[in-house]
Structure 1
């Protein structure tokens, strides 16, 4: 069982054209989203057993989010519920297909997440990231869960997925990020995240992770290993619609691949050979490319990808 811990929210995505009032407001369509939510859905679609650990509103958006998880085969029995509203993220799509976001997070349900009494039976890995590790008081609860899981020998994955507009004190966040590394088995982040954080893969590896995977957009993926190796694979070319959910799909593909190989441990990841890393990264690149060929975060099903 892979557990994904973090927020579920609604992305409001531009659809092209203007609203009916004739003004400059774009037409926005609600899409199920949030980095951890997308990761959980992608893991479920790829076929690995997965559970979602979060706090979700009882409003109509919250019900839709639970429905999306359930349709993907995600266990939602560890989702907490609240009467507060669902977080909203308004997306803007640049000419190159990249997405930017502004957030409406005050008083929303996912911020009040509390540490569960236990993880689902058979938990082999827990994945963390994005807004859930920024917005208090929930951020401290997710951090506590990360440290607890790691301390129990459960493999942990971290995708910081930086949303700079939500971080009031960048230096404090960077220090907090470094404090998570001893409790992290696999660190995955984008080139932009790495630049914002200001460190290097070698520095991060020295603090704990068995491997650091960096996404480079259409240029592909790179992994840096604890043993000092670096392996690169190119990106998969597709007709780009947008990049929403692409990084989350990479995260899910990595976890699914490691689970398939029974390699969800620090020791196993540290021991992966060059051929295995190339196979895993190519699989993740292909999965992300499928997501980029669709509007919004719509990760692929296992039947749409070549076998690992």
Structure 2
């Protein structure tokens, strides 16, 4: 399927409560986030046609989450609303800027998403991952949607982005991830995800994944394909404030780059040469570097990357 269409991003939208200072019991500031939500915002800011599939609360956080999607140019046609509360994630930042999370998810709106039926006819790709593939009943909804999308020729992209503290049935979650990875054109994961999952890039390629991109923090990115590996270093041109949303920025940047190059297609991606992968990974590293230079998950706009845009507020 051609990438001349939209990217649908399915998954949770939540509020990160981020410390304003690196000290115990520092005041917390709300920052809008959630892995899939960050991917959608990142794609929108990179001017890739994007639709968000999620369920938002009708509380003030849900209103703010919806407004930020709109401000980022993300289509809201598949956004559901409900009176349930918004998911909250309390963030702790260590001395290196790395983030740890404590989640409050019981009865939250995003895990109660219902099946949207057929995706829009011009859908080129579906991206899924993170809490939305762990927390039922929504996890089964997204997994089934990914299966149906792949069967219809839609490019599927997976980022497991595991939050181990929320996994109560590891075997079931691993089986769900295995099933999606087997039909995915792209799997993006961190070193930590791979260790928890117990799957190597070679395992995922053998099971059916088209390409596997692994993020390695300060050591950069590496893609594994059936033709070999290509690696690029991290972008260190900007000081790190925190790493919130860094992996999500890699995911959105990869999808945006592949969309622009008409490569959101398993056959086209399989033909991408090492130089093409270096371009894609380099762009992703640059976008992630921008995100890490600001507090919270604030991916850059296309205008910022091009050097002529006003910084995001």
Q: Normalising by the residue count of structure 1, what TM-score does the alignment of the two structures yield?
A: 0.95
* Residue 65 of structure 2 corresponds to residue 65 of structure 1: yes
SS at match of 1:124: strand
Deviation at 1:67, TM superposition (A): 0.4
In 1: Cα distance, 2:22 partner to 2:170 partner: 36
Q: Name which of 3, 12, 15 aligns with 1:7.
A: 12
Deviation at 1:17, TM superposition (A): 7.0
In 1: Cα distance, 2:126 partner to 2:176 partner: 19
Q: Look up the match of 1:234.
A: 233
Deviation at 1:179, TM superposition (A): 2.0
SS at match of 1:118: coil
Deviation at 1:84, TM superposition (A): 0.4
- The answer as to whether partners of 2:22 and 2:94 remain within 8 angstroms in 1 is no
Deviation at 1:232, TM superposition (A): 0.4
- The answer as to whether partners of 1:283 and 1:306 remain within 8 angstroms in 2 is no
In 2: Cα distance, 1:120 partner to 1:100 partner: 36
SS at match of 1:103: strand
Deviations 1:147-178 (A, max 9, x none): 01011010000000010000012233223221
Q: Look up the match of 1:147.
A: 147
- The answer as to whether partners of 1:209 and 1:226 remain within 8 angstroms in 2 is no
In 2: Cα distance, 1:175 partner to 1:141 partner: 15
In 2: Cα distance, 1:168 partner to 1:281 partner: 34
Deviation at 1:306, TM superposition (A): 5.4
What do you get for the CA RMSD once the two structures are aligned?
A: 1.3
Larger displacement relative to structure 2 (109-118 or 288-297): 109-118
**1:37-186 superposed matches below 5 A:** 37-186=37-186
In 2: Cα distance, 1:9 partner to 1:246 partner: 16
In 1: Cα distance, 2:169 partner to 2:255 partner: 31
- The answer as to whether partners of 2:11 and 2:130 remain within 8 angstroms in 1 is yes
In 2: Cα distance, 1:65 partner to 1:190 partner: 26
In 2: Cα distance, 1:197 partner to 1:148 partner: 23
Q: Look up the match of 2:261.
A: 261
Gaps of 5+ in 1: 19-23
Deviations 1:263-287 (A, max 9, x none): 1111111110111000010000000
In 2: Cα distance, 1:38 partner to 1:262 partner: 22
SS at match of 1:44: helix
Q: Look up the match of 2:245.
A: 245
In 1: Cα distance, 2:97 partner to 2:194 partner: 20
- The answer as to whether partners of 1:189 and 1:214 remain within 8 angstroms in 2 is yes
Deviation at 1:241, TM superposition (A): 0.3
- The answer as to whether partners of 1:17 and 1:27 remain within 8 angstroms in 2 is no
- The answer as to whether partners of 1:209 and 1:266 remain within 8 angstroms in 2 is no
Deviation at 1:25, TM superposition (A): 2.7
* Residue 262 of structure 2 corresponds to residue 294 of structure 1: no
Deviation at 1:196, TM superposition (A): 1.4
In 2: Cα distance, 1:217 partner to 1:182 partner: 25
Gaps of 5+ in 2: 1-5, 308-313
In 1: Cα distance, 2:118 partner to 2:171 partner: 32
Q: Normalising by the residue count of structure 2, what TM-score does the alignment of the two structures yield?
A: 0.94
- The answer as to whether partners of 1:17 and 1:26 remain within 8 angstroms in 2 is yes
In 2: Cα distance, 1:73 partner to 1:55 partner: 18
In 2: Cα distance, 1:52 partner to 1:45 partner: 13
* Residue 276 of structure 2 corresponds to residue 271 of structure 1: no
In 2: Cα distance, 1:283 partner to 1:305 partner: 10
